[in-house]
């Protein structure tokens, strides 16, 4: 029967199956829609609504189950999540493989083949990480690992970062298999470990050990955003580059002694003074091609005052004032323009009545692509101007990767479908301030793009890595729908 179908019928079947992911009767606690989030495409009469409802509910169920598997990193425990996903894929007749990285820590890979001989240069990689950052349960209003659905939200650690993307990738991958679509390229599902810490189970190690199992020319990952404001999607940002994470220790040394006899070389005092200076320092602004294009396009969407200064950011006469104005308006914009420095940890002392010989602070630095940490440390050394202070670069720093192309067929397709799905909103290239696994892929010449396909507000985004992380149910549904359409059109033969 399949051999008699025309190519267009094959493609239509694939799209129909994928679009159906996010359609159907809402699950318990789910809202059918939300202001500013367009309804998902209705099921076709050719496909019974009952079938479309099943997979939509499954995708949300997978997300909830994944939240309930505690993969806090450290220690990670990603292998438990990988085995859960493997069982789902096995039921669909899809072979998967666990890629061992460390005890209890494995990635998972699965592939839908387009031909007997793989062509990695054309393959599409769907990637998301299984680990999550830690929580302070006392500051949450719900159990962070209960996967609760209430008030129209899915609550829990990883609901945004990154288990929603993991579940959405899984849904698009499985729907493509169920549709029986004829593929024009291999589609690879990859669930990674240790994205949040970047240590012995990170994608860097994964690539070094297992690259041939998931080598691809294109990748879709986290890192972008669908920005919702005043009840309406304003724009879609597709990540094509990212800042480089480096941790630097600030170390003060002094004379240890009894606290009843204060000394002028107290390490705590010198450290505090150094951190205070660093905390108010702003590195010079610099505009990469992607950041410049981002602000140029965003200027048309902002109010007249902000738009005016965005258009002046890189000018010689008004640039300095414009940069100051925009930096104060939004911390994200400030970080996109310059190397950023955030003091994150302090450590000193062994007893209340002992002056310590050493005090330390950690600086979490995000470098613009192309900038070097040595230059920034030289500037900070001059700023602090204290012989008792030294800076020490910590291991496992990120590596600058070339940006992904803004002219590739995949970027243009993402832009086209995203604009269509949200009523013609602009699609902007984005340089994320946070690090993702995409940087390591770009170093392997993969055209990797970040698209967090779930419409969210600033308030939603602020919960990422914070307390009471949650994702609107309607946004998850729409995001699955958007992601599925992108995958179908890029991978299924027309």
Closest CA to 167 of 193, 128, 196, 206: 128
3-class SS string, 230-245: CCEEEEEEEEEEECEE
Mean pLDDT, the chain, integer: 91
**Stated pTM of the model:** 0.89
Instruction: In whole angstroms, give the CA distance from residue 482 to residue 475.
Output: 10
Residue 13 pLDDT exceeds 70: no
pLDDT (mean) for 308-326: 95
Q: Which helix (H) or strand (E) holds 354?
A: strand 354-355
Look at residue 40 in the predicted model and tell me its pLDDT: 66
pLDDT, tens digit, 9 for 90 and up, residues 53-91 = 566 779 999 999 999 999 999 999 999 999 999 999 999
**Contact 339/365 with Cβ under 8 angstroms?**
yes
pLDDT (mean) for 282-298: 96
* 147 conformational bin, left if phi > 0, alpha if psi -120 to 50, beta if neither: left
Look at residue 37 in the predicted model and tell me its pLDDT: 79
Look at residue 57 in the predicted model and tell me its pLDDT: 79
DSSP state of 280: T
pLDDT band at 34; cut points 50, 70, 90: low
Residue 414 pLDDT exceeds 80: yes
List the beta strands (DSSP E) in 193-284.
218-221, 225-229, 232-242, 244-253, 257-258
pLDDT band at 31; cut points 50, 70, 90: very low
Look at residue 35 in the predicted model and tell me its pLDDT: 61
pLDDT (mean) for 323-340: 97
Residue identified by tokens 């600030």 is 250
Q: 205: helix, coil or strand?
A: helix
**Contact 174/94 with Cβ under 8 angstroms?**
yes
Look at residue 33 in the predicted model and tell me its pLDDT: 53
Residue 25 pLDDT exceeds 60: no
Per cent of the chain over pLDDT 90 is 86
Instruction: In whole angstroms, give the CA distance from residue 159 to residue 157.
Output: 6
pLDDT, tens digit, 9 for 90 and up, residues 166-206 = 999 999 999 999 999 999 999 999 999 999 999 999 999 99
Look at residue 447 in the predicted model and tell me its pLDDT: 98
Task: Output the six-digit token pair for 439.
Answer: 């940087």
Q: Which residues contact 56 (CB under 8 A, 6 or more apart)?
A: 20, 21, 22, 23, 24, 477, 480
**Contact 418/427 with Cβ under 8 angstroms?**
yes
pLDDT band at 38; cut points 50, 70, 90: confident
Angle at 162 between CA 67 and CA 101, to 5 degrees: 90
pLDDT, tens digit, 9 for 90 and up, residues 418-470 = 999 999 999 999 999 999 999 999 999 999 999 999 999 999 999 999 999 99
Closest CA to 222 of 326, 344, 132: 132
């Amino acid at each position: 029967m399949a051999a008699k179908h025309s190519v267009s019928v094959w493609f239509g079947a694939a799209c129909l199956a994928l679009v159906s992911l996010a359609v159907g009767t809402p699950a318990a606690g789910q809202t059918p829609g939300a202001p500013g989030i367009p309804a998902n495409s209705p099921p076709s009469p050719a496909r019974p609504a009952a079938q479309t409802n099943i997979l939509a509910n499954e995708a949300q169920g997978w997300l909830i189950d994944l939240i309930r598997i505690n993969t806090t990193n450290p220690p990670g425990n990603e292998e438990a999540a990988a085995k859960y996903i493997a069982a789902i894929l096995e039921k669909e007749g899809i072979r998967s493989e666990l890629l061992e990285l460390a005890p209890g820590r494995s990635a998972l890979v699965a592939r839908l083949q387009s031909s007997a001989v793989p062509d990695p240069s054309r393959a599409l990689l769907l990637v998301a990480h299984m680990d999550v950052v830690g929580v302070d349960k006392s500051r949450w209003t719900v159990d962070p690992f209960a996967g609760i659905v209430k008030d129209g939200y899915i609550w829990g650690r990883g609901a945004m970062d990154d288990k929603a993307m993991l579940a959405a990738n899984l849904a698009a991958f499985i729907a493509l298999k169920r549709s029986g679509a004829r593929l024009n390229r291999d589609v690879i599902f990859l669930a990674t470990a240790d994205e949040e810490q970047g240590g012995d189970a990170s994608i860097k190690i994964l690539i070094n050990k297992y690259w041939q199992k998931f080598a691809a020319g294109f990748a879709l990952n986290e890192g972008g955003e669908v920005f919702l404001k005043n009840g309406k999607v304003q724009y879609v940002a597709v990540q094509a580059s990212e800042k480089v994470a480096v941790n630097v220790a600030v170390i003060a040394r002094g004379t240890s002694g009894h606290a009843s006899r204060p000394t002028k070389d107290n390490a705590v005092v010198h450290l505090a003074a150094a951190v205070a200076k660093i905390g108010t320092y702003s590195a010079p602004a610099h505009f990469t091609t992607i950041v410049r294009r981002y602000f140029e396009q965003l200027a048309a969407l902002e109010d007249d005052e902000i738009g005016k200064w965005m258009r002046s950011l890189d000018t010689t006469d008004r640039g300095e004032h414009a940069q100051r104005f925009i930096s104060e308006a939004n911390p994200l914009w400030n970080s996109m323009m310059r190397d950023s420095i955030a003091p994150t940890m302090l450590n000193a002392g062994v007893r209340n009545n002992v002056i310590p010989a050493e005090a330390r602070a950690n600086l979490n630095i995000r470098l613009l692509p192309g900038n070097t940490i040595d230059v920034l440390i030289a500037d900070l050394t001059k700023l602090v101007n204290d012989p008792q202070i030294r800076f020490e670069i910590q291991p496992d720093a990120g590596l600058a990767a070339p940006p992904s192309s803004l002219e590739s067929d995949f970027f243009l397709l993402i832009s086209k479908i995203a604009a269509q799905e949200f009523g013609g909103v602009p699609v902007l290239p984005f340089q994320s301030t946070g690090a993702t696994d995409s940087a390591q892929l770009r170093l392997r010449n993969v055209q990797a793009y970040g698209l967090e396909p779930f419409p969210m507000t600033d308030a939603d985004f602020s919960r990422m890595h914070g307390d009471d992380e949650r994702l609107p149910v309607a946004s998850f549904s729409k995001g699955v729908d958007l992601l599925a359409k992108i995958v179908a059109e890029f991978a299924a033969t027309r």
